[in-house]
Structure 1
Amino acid sequence: MTKFRLKLTTLFVLLIGFSVLAAGLLMGNSYQRNHQNALRDHMIRELHVLNAATPWPEDGDVAEQSAYLEQEAKRFKEIAGMRVTYIDLNGKVMGDSDHEPATMDNHLSREEIREALEGGTGTSVRYSDTLRENMMYVALKVGGENGGPAKGIIRLSMSLGDIERSLDNMWLALIFGLLLLFAVAVVVSYRVALSVTRPLERMTTAAKRMANMDYAIRVPESGRDEMSELARALNAMAGSLQGQLDEIRQNGTRLQDVLDNMISGVVMIAHDGRITLFSKQAEFLLGGTARERVGRSYSEIKQHYELTGLIRESLASPMPLHDELTVYYPEERLLEINIVPMKMSGEDEPGLLLVMQDVSAIRKLERMRSEFVANVSHELKTPVAAVKGFAETLLAGAVNDPETARSFLTIIQDESDRLNRLIGDILELSKIESRRAPLQFSPIELPAFLARMTELLGTEAARKNIELDVQVEEGLFLEADEDRLGQIVMNLMQNGINYTPDGGKVKVRAFVVTPEDGAEEFVRLTVSDTGIGIPKKDIPRIFERFYRVDKARSRSSGGTGLGLSIVKHLTELHHGTIRVESTVGIGSQFILELPLIQP
């Protein structure tokens, strides 16, 4: 913009300078012409006065006339200060105020003499070699009025030096004034150019910042001229663009937030196979990052051969596609894939939108539900079948045999009790899983609490001659739901009693653990036995519903297969953990860890 300002200033200065120079030249020429015309008119009047004062002699010979005219010429020179020359009609000089006539050339060819002979007066301006300056010559024909004969020509000549010196002074003044005017014009032009270019500079700067998507810039818009109107229009456009950009950014942020928080992975692929969008959930499901994937071909996802095959098929024949496939990277998952062809902005051919969701947990839950229904049906069918069979036997006549009838009725009663326990455990587990029974936390004194548990199970342990060894820190309190904690400990101790041979031992230990990393203290409660133990392959599934290591032994012990599952769910509701360590033939140890104070 500085160059433009200099160009504009130079243009203004040149226009003013040329205008002033042209005016000066016109004025100088006009001054010179007017001055010469005035001088010529004056000289013509002088010639008439001279002719009237000194008429052309008519008597005497040529020598006498010449002497007389020369004398008069010199006398008039002294009076008027102008050179006077008398010339006859043939161009011969008869008298001159400055030179001897005899030494002078014939003047018939002189311009002013020819004009005087033809028209009565003549004028010319030429350089005088004698005086070495420009001279003005004015000639007047004498005689010839009223049809009389012409007598000769009187010529006055006057130096133009004074006029030229005056013109020189005028030109000096004009040049000085022009330079002064140039200086003023430079200052004024610069100020004018600055007033024109400064708003343009501001608007240019604003336009460049707008081109860089900085729409917060504003141009000063005070005034009512065209520049101010343009500035207001530019500010209005910047405000509108700023609003639209903010809305676009908000929409983009909202869309990005939606994509980042969707449980489904989203991938967009252009018609040429380039990945244009790779959401965070897609990173989690397929591995890699958006920075690594976006802009590159889908075929570079080498770890998912089946998925790239589906994409290749959809690009070849764009049609909606739904499928489920298993991926093994970054970990094994079952993915539900939906592929939809869609046109993207600026592209004629359709690309693909992939929406994928991890359905591993859903399918696992469906499988577990099916297994649960099958297990429940099987577990209910066994006691019902036994009750039905023995009842039919009794109805068939076995009731008449008192000993057989008593035996069968005892079995029916045992199976009914088992069926009742099973239904109770199923209802209890359902209630716990659905969280319909919220826990009521309160401080529990563990020594007294475990003493009550030991007392409740003492008869059952004594029946198998099993020793119950309980050791707990004195004054140890734990925040928990007393009834639910009782279920946990009762189940663990009953399992220890049921799966420990006669004469065995069940130990219960409870103590506070302080982690080294500064975390919250917790209570560790262990229940160990000297029973048959659990094979290592069965340990990961020991807390599943209806899972039994030894099904025959479990039924004979009266277990329903739901106790440990109930224990695990109740432990999680207490924000704790439970695990098992076991060696076959030596025994098992269940390790329960609960927070000292509930969060």
Structure 2
Amino acid sequence: MTKFRLKLTSLFILFIGFSVLAAGLLMGNSYQKNHQAALRDHMIRELHVLNAAAPWPDMVDPAAQSEYLQQQAKRFKEIAEMRITYIRLDGKVMGDSDHDPATMDNHLSREEVQQALKEGTGSSVRYSGTLEEKMMYVAIKVNEDRGGANEGVIRLSMSLGDVERSMNNMWLALITGLLILFAVAAIISYRVALSVTRPLERMTSAAKRMANMDYATRVPEGGKDEIGELARALNAMAGSLQGQLDEIRRNGTRLQSVLDNMISGVVMIAPDGKITLYNREAEHLLGNSIRERVGRSFTEIRHHFEIVGLIREALENPVSFHEEITVYYPEERLLEIHIVPMTMSGDEDTGLLLVLQDVSAIRRLERMRSEFVANVSHELKTPVAAVKGFAETLLSGALNDPETAKSFLTIIQDESDRLNRLIGDILELSKIESRRSPLQFSPIDLPAFLERMTELLSPEAAKKDIELDVVSEEGLFLEADEDRLGQIVMNLMQNGINYTPDGGKVKVRAEIVNVEDSEEEIVRITVSDTGIGIPRKDIPRIFERFYRVDKARSRSSGGTGLGLSIVKHLTELHHGTIRVESTVGVGSKFILELPLLQP
């Protein structure tokens, strides 16, 4: 815009300068012509006066005539300070105020003389080599009415030096005035150009910022002229664009928030095979970051050959379908993939939308539910079959044998108790998992609590000659639900007794432990035995429902297979953790850690 301002200023200056220069040239030329014309008329009048005062002599003798005219020329030179020349009709100089006529050239060819001979008066302006300056010559023809030898031409000459000096002064004044006028015109033109271009500069700068999506910029609106109207229109457009951009950004933020918080992975693939969208859950499921994937071809997904094959097939044959595949990177999981063809805006070809769902947990739960139903059916079927079989035997006549009847009725009673325990554990586990039985937390004197647990289990341990060794820090209190904590400790100690051979040992230790990098304190209860131990492959599944390491031994001991599952759920409800360490043939150690104070 500065270049435009300079151009506009230059145009103003050139226009004013040419106008003034043309006017000056016209005025100078007119002044010069008028001055010379006035001087010529004045000199003609003076020649007529001279001729009247001293007419051309009527002498026949040329020498006497020349002498007389030379005297008159010098006399008038002294009076009028002008050069006077008397010229005969044949061009011979008869007298001259400045030079000797005998030494002067014939003047017949002089322009002013020729004109005077033809028209009676003549004039010319030319440079005089004799005087070395520009001169004006005026001549008149005299004694035309007498004829003959008495006729001649009188010429008067005057230097134009004064006229030229006057013209030079005029030109100096004109140039000085022109320079001053140029300076004033430059200042005025610059101010005028600035008043025109500054708003345009501001609007141009604002338009550039708007092109860079900075719609918050505004232009001073100025007056009510066209530039002001343009500024107001530009501001209105910027405001409208700003509002639309804010709405687009809000929509984009909402859409991005929805995509980032979706529990499904979303991948969008353009018709050319480049990935254009890759949300956070897709990063989690497929193990690549958005920066690594967006803008690159789907064929660069190195770790998922089956997914690449599905995408390639869908691009070649764009139909909707879904499939479940197992991926092993970044970890093993089962993915349900929905592939939907979609047309991108402005594209004729069809791209793809992939929706990825991790169904590993769902399928695992379905499997666990099936296994649970099968296990419950199996566990219920065994005692029911036993009860039914022995009842049928009794009804078939075994009642007549008192010993046999008593033995069968005892078995029926034991199986009924087992069935009752199983149903009770199932109901208990159901209540715990559905959180229909809230915990009632209260301070528990842990040494006294463990002593009561020992008293309850001592008869059972005594039957197998198993030593119960219980040790707890004095004055140790724990905030927990006493009944539920009793279920946890009772299950762990019963398991130790059941799976420890006769003459073994079950130890219980309770102590306070500080958590690393924290001021929080936890209570650690360790239940260890010298039993058969748990194989390493079974340890991850030890807390699953109905899972048994030694199924025959579990059933013979009256276990339902739900005890450790109940223990794990109750521990989690106490905001605690439980883990197991075991060596086959050496024994097992269950480590229960609970917060000293419930959060």
Tell me the TM-score normalized by structure 1. 0.89
Between the aligned partners of 1:321 and 1:431, the Cα distance in structure 2 is 40
1:366 and 1:57, CA in 2 relative to 1: closer, same or farther beyond 3 A? Answer: same
Once residues 237 and 63 of structure 1 are traced to their aligned partners in structure 2, the CA distance between those partners, rounded to angstroms, is 105
Segment drifting more, 532-541 vs 388-397: 388-397
Q: How does 1:136-535 map to 2 (within 5 A)?
A: 136-142=136-142, 151-192=151-192, 194-195=194-195, 198-224=198-224, 228-345=228-345, 347-535=347-535
CA distance in 1, matches of 2:348, 2:143: 108
Aligned residue number for residue 544 of structure 2: 544
Q: TM-score with structure 2 length normalisation? A: 0.89
**Residue identity matched to 2:290:** A
Q: Does 1:121 align with 2:159?
A: no
Deviations 1:350-384 (A, max 9, x none): 33222212111111111111111111122222222
Kept in 2: contact 1:509–1:525 (CA 8 A)? yes
1:149 CA displacement: 13
Structure 2 residues without counterparts, runs of 5 or longer: none
* Partner AA of 2:160 in structure 1: L
Corresponding residue number in structure 1 for 2:580: 580
C-alpha distance in structure 2 between counterparts of 1:356 and 1:94, whole Å: 131
Report deviation, 1:593. Answer: 0.9
**Separation in structure 1 between the aligned mates of residue 565 and residue 251 of structure 2, nearest angstrom:** 47
Greater Cα offset, 489-498 or 588-597: 489-498
What SS does structure 2 have at the residue aligned with 1:36? helix
- d(CA) in 2 for partners of 1:185, 1:136: 40
Residue in structure 2 matched with residue 97 of structure 1 by the alignment:
97
- Given that 1:141 and 1:150 are in contact with CA atoms closer than 8 Å, whether structure 2 keeps it comes out as no
Q: Distance in 1 between matches of 2:86 and 2:410?
A: 183
Distance 2:414 2:152 in 1: 178
User: How far, CA to CA, are the matches of 2:231 and 2:68 in structure 1?
Assistant: 90
The one-letter amino acid paired with 2:497 is I
Alignment partner of 1:157: what SS? strand
Gaps spanning 5+ residues in structure 1: where?
none
Contact 2:57 2:150 in 1 (8 A): no
CA distance in 2, matches of 1:60, 1:541: 167
- Tell me, what secondary structure is at the counterpart of 2:32? helix
Does 1:597 find its partner at 2:593? Answer: no
1-structure distance, mates of 2:501, 2:88? 177
Q: How many pairs align?
A: 599
Deviation, 1:446, is 0.9
SS of corresponding position for 1:109:
coil
Q: Distance in 2 between matches of 1:26 and 1:147?
A: 45
Q: In 1, Cα distance between the equivalents of 2:367 and 2:288?
A: 31
Offset of residue 320 of structure 1:
2.0
Q: What is the DSSP-based 3-state SS (H/G/I as helix, E as strand, rest coil) of the residue aligned with 1:262?
A: coil
Kindly state the Cα deviation for residue 501 of structure 1 after the two structures are TM-superposed. 4.0
Alpha-carbon distance in 2 for matches of 1:535, 1:267: 43
Name the amino acid aligned to 1:498. Answer: N
CA distance in 1 between counterparts of 2:536 and 2:108 reads 152
Q: Could you tell me how far 1:412 is from its partner in structure 2?
A: 3.1
Secondary structure of 1:353's aligned partner: strand
The separation in 1 between residues aligned to 2:32 and 2:536, in whole angstroms, is 130
Instruction: Provide Cα deviations, 1:17-42, integer angstroms capped at 9, x if missing partner.
Output: 44443333222222211111111222
Q: What amino acid sits opposite 2:319 in the alignment?
A: M
Distance in 1, matches of 2:339 and 2:42, equals 112
**Partners of 1:566 and 1:449 in 2: how far apart?**
20
SS in 2 for 1:365: helix
Question: In 2 relative to 1, CA 150–443 (structure 1 residues): closer, same or farther, beyond 3 Å?
Answer: farther
CA contact (8 A) 2:56 2:150 kept: no
How far off its partner does 1:475 sit?
1.1
Matched letter for residue 441 of structure 1: F
Q: For residue 311 of structure 2, what is the amino acid of its counterpart?
A: I
**CA apart distance, 1:300:** 2.6
SS at 1:387 equivalent: helix
1: distance between equivalents of 2:147 and 2:558? 175
Describe the shift of the 1:99–1:401 C-alpha distance in structure 2 as closer, same or farther (beyond 3 A). Answer: same
- Distance in 2 (CA, whole Å) between partners of 1:10 and 1:371 is 96
Matched, 1:79 2:100: no
SS at match of 1:134: strand
Amino acid at match of 2:565: S
Bigger CA drift: 360-369 or 292-301? 292-301
Moved more, 569-578 or 259-268: 259-268
Deviation for aligned residue 1:562: 1.0
What secondary structure, in the 3-state scheme, does the structure 2 residue paired with 1:592 have? strand
Rounded to whole Å, the distance in 1 between the matches of 2:412 and 2:393 is 11
CA root-mean-square deviation: 3.3
In 2, Cα distance between equivalents of 1:129 and 1:587: 145
What letter matches 1:364 in structure 2? R
SS at match of 1:580: strand
SS in 1 for 2:558: coil
Alpha-carbon separation, structure 1, partners of 2:146 and 2:499: 174
CA contact (8 A) 1:215 1:239 kept: yes
Counterpart-to-counterpart distance in 2, 1:311 and 1:193: 64
Counterpart in the other structure of 2:29: 29
Shift of 1:335: 0.9
Q: Give a deviation string over 1:204-243, Cα, whole Å, max 9, x none.
A: 5445544444444444444455555555555444444444
- Give SS of 1:307's match: helix
- Report if aligned partners of 2:533, 2:585 keep a CA contact under 8 Å in 1: yes
CA distance in 1, matches of 2:153, 2:186: 58
Separation (CA, whole Å) in 1 of partners of 2:444 and 2:253:
51
Q: CA deviation at 1:463?
A: 4.4
State whether residues 84 and 157 of structure 2, in contact with CA within 8 Å, keep that contact through their aligned partners in structure 1: yes
Conservation of the 8 A alpha-carbon contact between 1:324 and 1:335: yes
Letter in 2 for 1:47: L
Counterpart of 1:107? 107
Contact 1:218 1:238 in 2 (8 A): yes
After TM superposition, the structure 1 stretch with the greater mean CA deviation from structure 2, 12-21 or 363-372, is 12-21
Contact 1:319 / 1:341 at 8 angstroms: preserved in 2? yes
Of all paired residues, the percent bearing the same amino acid is 82
1:569 matched to 2:569? The reply is yes
Higher mean C-alpha displacement, 514-523 vs 139-148: 139-148
- After superposition, the Cα gap between the structure-2 partners of 1:182 and 1:516, relative to the gap in structure 1 and judged at 3 Å, is same
CA drift of 1:99 comes to 3.7
CA distance in 2, matches of 1:23, 1:251: 69
| C-alpha deviation, 1:574, in angstroms | 0.9
Compute the displacement of 1:594 (Å). Answer: 0.7
Q: CA deviation at 1:90?
A: 4.2
The alpha-carbon deviation at position 83 of structure 1 amounts to 2.8
State which drifts further: 372-381 or 263-272. 263-272
Change (3 A) 1:261 1:519: farther
Compute the displacement of 1:264 (Å).
1.8
- Asked whether the 8 Å contact 1:387–1:412 carries over to 2, the reply is yes
3-state SS of 1:571 partner: helix
Deviation at 1:295, TM superposition (A): 3.3
In the TM superposition, residue 306 of structure 1 has moved relative to its aligned partner by 1.3
Contact 1:9 1:186 in 2 (8 A): yes
Partner Cα separation in structure 2 for residue 197 and residue 252 of structure 1: 39
Q: Partners of 1:344 and 1:528 in 2: how far apart? A: 65
Letter in 2 for 1:26: L
Q: Which whole-Å deviations, capped at 9, do the CAs of 1:243-287 have from their partners, x for residues lacking one?
A: 444444443333333332222222233333333333332222222
Contact 1:143 1:149 in 2 (8 A): no
